[in-house]
Structure 1
Amino acid sequence: MAGCVALSLFMVKHLSRITYLYLTIPFIIFCMGWLRLSVAIPVVAVIVWALWQIFKQEQFEQSSPVPVRWLLITALIIGLWVFLSGVGGYAFQNWDHHWRNAVFRDLVTNGWPVTYSSPERGPITMLVYYVGYWLPAALAGRILGWGVANFILFLWTWFGVLLTVLHLNLKLKTSLVKSALLLIFFSGLDVIGTLLFAKDYPTLWPPVQHLEIWSGGDLQYSSFTTQLFWVFNQAVPAWLCIALILSTVRNDAQTLSQKGFVWALSFFFAPLASIGLIPYLMIDFFTLTDWRSFFKSIRVGLLLATGIIFLLSYFFFSSNTAAQERGFQLIALKDLLVFFLLDGGIFWLMLAPSKWRDPRWAVTGILLLLMPFIQLGNGRDFVMRASIAPLFYLMTMVGETILNKVTSRGLIITFYVLLVLGALTPLYEINRSVSRTYEYYVVLDEIQRAQPNVEAATHLEKGGAPELEHPNAILADDIYTLAYMQDKLSKNFIANVRQSLYYRYLSAR
């Protein structure tokens, strides 16, 4: 027990420092594995220098004391949530894990950078994707094996979500458990969209369906549970970067430089999510209170590290041309208004009486209204991932309003009613995982359980109803390796890099 108390006190006292290390270590690993040493060594030196400048700030933000009991209870709740997400392969995995398992396995079993073909002439094909989140676990797996890699990935995710909740709690000024539950169950009113507008799928029964596709296709603002259960590698670091920025109370040149550094790291982990975060940083920039000391207070090391992280990430990602498709999607006004209102707009309008003076409230509504029109790549990923930041800010503003009781009692009751209805979306996601995991471990015997796939696939059929995916198995592992994949979606992960700036001047050979 004494050890738990000491660990709790250490985390509380050094929360921000631990968070910066958590976010920076994967980038350092990336530099050492993906860049030639003549580039990697000075880059890592600059990053370490920037961290030292951050750590030695005299007025570094610290969290308030947290009772050990509540920290442990919160950690258990979060651990169960992460377990049910499928991260680590211990519970049912949704369709997107086919791709994430393949990326992770290639990071564990292949050389770095992951290269699939390297002829003297012709295409040089590499894995070009947001691999940063997997790197600590993949590094462990390269030494200790696939099973250890998955266990470390589970622990890494668990710890990252716990850090997110601790920072969120700083902003909300409430109990850790309430902060965790808000993150887990906050969602739009997909149950109403399903009831009134869904055609064939989803329906409200059985309570294991994917409610967020009620508007058709991939037009959705994913709940935080859905983000964790489907795209944890982008969601968790994006949440943590946003929560770290939100929990930084001061707004001066020094903290703005730190926020820029955090934003660059968010771009490394989840570029689309980082785009949605830019307007909020612009608000911080234009609301600085002391412009006279701005240039005197800027830390050169932080600015240099921020630029390096962004540029190296950009050169690497841009070597994959699949993400360079850009355009606008036309949406009927009626469909847009219905989607906006049910997937966050009603909450946003209800916040107006208490938040209308806050520019972040206005930016949140504008972003949620405009994002459905924008397309990057060949799908709706921009809508689902760039919305992470405005949804996180929306959740935080709702939490502040109801937990701190800054509006009328009637409005607070209405908020709670809508939050309960919205909570059905994550509950359906959780229930699907519970039911399929229970079926696999308890109902099926050894003969009935599907055997793991060890053959390299070339194509993967698009997922259907998630609750019916890969029957008699919990692992979504049909690809095994990306080396031989030839379908359209594989272009999001594999690229010919021969002519790219990254390969020609930066890549380790």
Structure 2
Amino acid sequence: MTFTISVHTMFSAQRLAVALSLLTLGYLTLPVLVFLAGWLWWPWALALTALTVTAFGILAKRILATPNLTGVRVDALVPWHTLLFSLLPLSAITLISGVGGYGPGNIDWVKHHAVLYDLTSQPWPVIYSLPGGRAALVYNVAYYLPAAVVGKAFGWAAANHALFATTLLGAWLVSLWLVVFCPRHALLAVGVFTFFSGMDSLGFLLHFPVPHRIDFLLHQTHIDWWTAAWQLPSHLTGIFWSPQHTFAAWLATALLLHVYWRDCHFGVEWFLIALLLFWSPFVAMGALPFVWVIRHMRTAPMPEAAPRTRWDRVPALAAIALAIVGILFYAAHYPEIPSDQFGVPQPATTPANGFFFAAKPPTQPSEWSAALQDYVICAALEFGLLAMVLTANRHALVPRERRVLLVSTLFLLGLMLFRYGFYNDLVMRASLPALFALSLLLVLALPQIRTPASRTIIALIFAFGMFTPLLSIRGNVESLSRAPSLWRCPQGIHLTVAASHYRRDYPLVLAQYLARTENIFFRVFAKSTP
């Protein structure tokens, strides 16, 4: 039997959704299995790997057994050429992003490639000898692990090609999810998603009242940081700077929204959150509101329960076990390693964490006013005005989509009231699921918005937002034009050396990655290390 694709070949969005659900779950699960096998003492590794594989198998069986989907926007056929063209924008962005040495990259790729190098060249768990003692690599390493396995088998260059391949696969899965959600306007969806951003350019112009400010703006390549207190990254910034957080956030949110909007009853939510802990704990926090939506904001009745079997609880048990391991792993960061153990003096400034207005409390009424003004302006420009326009055009979204809009907006407003990390990583990473949802809602609503005023406002929001990705693309393309080739194998250097590229922030950078080896995870669960 042969299979041919003709000009008229069509693919069912429903069947594509089932395939994507399986592939997404597999994409997020595989690195966690590698972590369990590579980090844990063999009895723990064997037990937890078996539990996780069994849970994955049960969930996969449920996904495959899903009947015809109900809910919103599912009855469509997609031409094969639409699927093909939908893959191109994010593929092109990934190709020049710096991942695995493809494209020039930015300074953060020094860290990313150093993490991959240590995972490739060192035994697991990765342990460092510092001037003040031993420290372990305690970081969300899931993104790097499949490539590290390839690197251990075939060398450093192969590890970089594998990192690019796994990132490109993530980009393809995200693109195909956009097709599933918007089958009749798939190419519009991918285009809007690629260039989606808050109005950083307008915020930049307001925040930096310098002479020739427009010329100053046009010479930038990364303007998401226009307000030092918060950074809610554009989609393209996520790929260029932090793919280890970004792709997991997008894929997990896509699967959760699919479960909610299409009345799927896989029981995958908590297992997905447990997997996300190994990809990015902040992203796991950002995905929790969507789990709450699935659990508490359904309007359709649950289907009649099938006869219970002894296997029904396995995904929940696996989620609990994985969550315990992940939490204990990251708990090694508390208390933090003092900077003198890194062989450097204490930095002059340290992160101020907690409630935003208490972390650096204003002392004068004018300072309170300025802080509140910054909060309102940032929230309005990054997502608030868009949320207001979508709310005003409530007819363009069905009730379930409007609930996601409400929850996403409220979550972002609340998230901005807190800070954690020197660069406020909490807001940068935990905002990713909600920003993904907002961009998707924009695409879903656009064809239904008819009023000229609303379309004009959305066009202005999108135009100001496009500056952020376009400036980043221009910077990478200019750097690429000066490079001898598209791909160059990154230098293999250890993380402790790579962190020195950040000069005064050296101890703060290392503190993100290195932690004590005396905590319960390394004493009870982890492999013994020499």
Structure 1 residues 13, 320: closer, same or farther in 2, change over 3 A? same
For residue 437 of structure 1, the aligned residue among 480, 498, 507 is: 480
Which residue identity is paired with 2:457? T
For 1:35, the equivalent position in structure 2 comes to 40
Aligned residues: 478
Query: Does the alignment pair 1:496 with 2:509?
Result: no
Q: Structure 1 stretches of 5 or more lacking a match? A: 443-448, 465-484
Superposed displacement of residue 171, structure 1: 2.2
Match of 1:254 among 265, 269, 276: 265
In structure 1, distance between residues paired with 2:481 and 2:57: 48
> 1:309 and 2:309 equivalent?
no
- On the 8 A contact 2:408/2:437 being kept in 1, the answer is yes
**Which of 431, 434, 437 pairs up with 1:387?**
431
Q: Deviations over 1:153-176 (max 9, x none)?
A: 111111111111212332233343
Query: Is 1:457 the counterpart of 2:497 in the alignment?
Result: yes
Using the size of structure 1 for normalisation, the TM-score is 0.84
TM-score (norm 2): 0.81
The change in CA–CA distance for 1:32 and 1:60 in structure 2 (over 3 A counts) is farther
**Paired residues of 2:276 and 2:283 also in contact (CA < 8 A):** yes
Cα distance in 1 between the residues matched to 2:68 and 2:352 = 41
Q: How does 1:139-158 map to 2 (within 5 A)?
A: 139-158=149-168
Q: Matches of 2:18 and 2:303 in 1, distance apart?
A: 32
Q: What is the distance in 2 between the residues matched to 1:251 and 1:294?
A: 18
Query: How far off is 1:492 after superposition?
Result: 0.7
- Quote the residue 2:196 is aligned against: 186
| Residue matched to 2:235 | 224
SS of the counterpart of 1:211? coil
Give the match for residue 458 of structure 2: 415
Whether the aligned pair in 2 keeps the contact of 1:251 and 1:284 (CA below 8 Å) is no
Residue type of the alignment partner of 2:125: P
What's the CA shift string for 1:452-508, capped at 9, x where partnerless? 5858637535489xxxxxxxxxxxxxxxxxxxx96222011011121x121111101
**CA displacement, residues 252-294 of structure 1 (integer Å, 9 cap, x when unaligned):** 6933x21222222222211111212212211221124447967
State the partner residue of 2:363: none
Conserved in 1, the CA contact under 8 Å of 2:39 and 2:124? yes
Question: Matches of 2:287 and 2:307 in 1, distance apart?
Answer: 26
The offset of 1:416, in angstroms, is 2.4
Q: 1:276 maps to which residue?
A: 286
On the 8 A contact 1:12/1:65 being kept in 2, the answer is no
Q: Which amino acid aligns with 2:322?
A: I
Match of 2:49 in 1: 44
1:26-175 counterparts in 2 under 5 A?
26-57=31-62, 58-59=65-66, 65-117=77-129, 123-175=133-185
CA spacing shift, 1:376–1:263, aligned 2, 3 Å: same
- Give, in whole Å, the separation in 2 of the partners of 1:4 and 1:507: 50
* Counterparts of residues 338-357 of structure 1 (less than 5 Å): 338-355=377-394
Q: Decide whether aligned partners of structure 1 residues 295 and 370 sit closer, same or farther in structure 2, where only a CA change above 3 A counts.
A: farther
How far apart, in 1, do the equivalents of 2:246 and 2:314 lie? 28
Distance in 1, matches of 2:499 and 2:514, equals 14
Across the aligned residues of Structure 1 and Structure 2, the Cα RMSD in angstroms comes to 3.4
Q: 1:70-102 CA distances to partner (integer Å, 9 max, x unpaired)?
A: 222222322211012111112111121121111
CA gap 1:199/1:266 in 2 versus in 1, 3 angstroms: farther
Distance in 1 separating the partners of 2:215 and 2:468: 12
Matched, 1:371 2:415: yes
| Contact 1:167–1:247 under 8 Å retained in 2 | no
Matched residue of 2:37: which SS? helix
Candidates 379, 383, 406, aligned match of 1:362:
406
Give the distance between the partners of 1:19 and 1:80, measured in 2 at CA: 21
Deviation at 1:198, TM superposition (A): 1.9
* Paired residue type of 2:482: E
Q: Residue 18 of structure 1 aligns with which residue?
A: 23
Q: Percent identity?
A: 26
Superposed displacement of residue 321, structure 1: 2.2
Q: CA deviation at 1:65?
A: 4.7
Q: Whole-Å Cα distance in 2 between the matches of residues 290 and 61 of structure 1? A: 16
Residues 368 and 2 of structure 1: CA distance in aligned 2, closer, same or farther (over 3 Å): same
Structure 2 residue 356 is matched with structure 1 residue 329: yes
Paired with 1:322 and 1:430, the residues of 2 have a C-alpha distance of 40
- Post-superposition offset of 1:67: 2.6
Question: Cα distance 1:463–1:203, how it changes in 2: closer, same or farther (>3 A)?
Answer: farther
8 Å contact from structure 1 (residues 273, 385) kept in 2: yes
Letter in 2 for 1:237: A
Distance 1:78 1:437 in 2: 17
* Contact 1:172 1:179 survives alignment (8 Å): yes
C-alpha change, 1:459 and 1:388, in structure 2 (3 Å) is closer
For structure 2, the residue ranges without an aligned partner over 5 or more in a row are: 337-350, 358-367
Q: What is the distance in 2 between the residues matched to 1:386 and 1:497?
A: 27
- The offset of 1:422, in angstroms, is 0.9
Alpha-carbon separation, structure 2, partners of 1:436 and 1:80? 15
CA–CA distance in 2 between the matches of 1:159 and 1:307?
Answer: 28
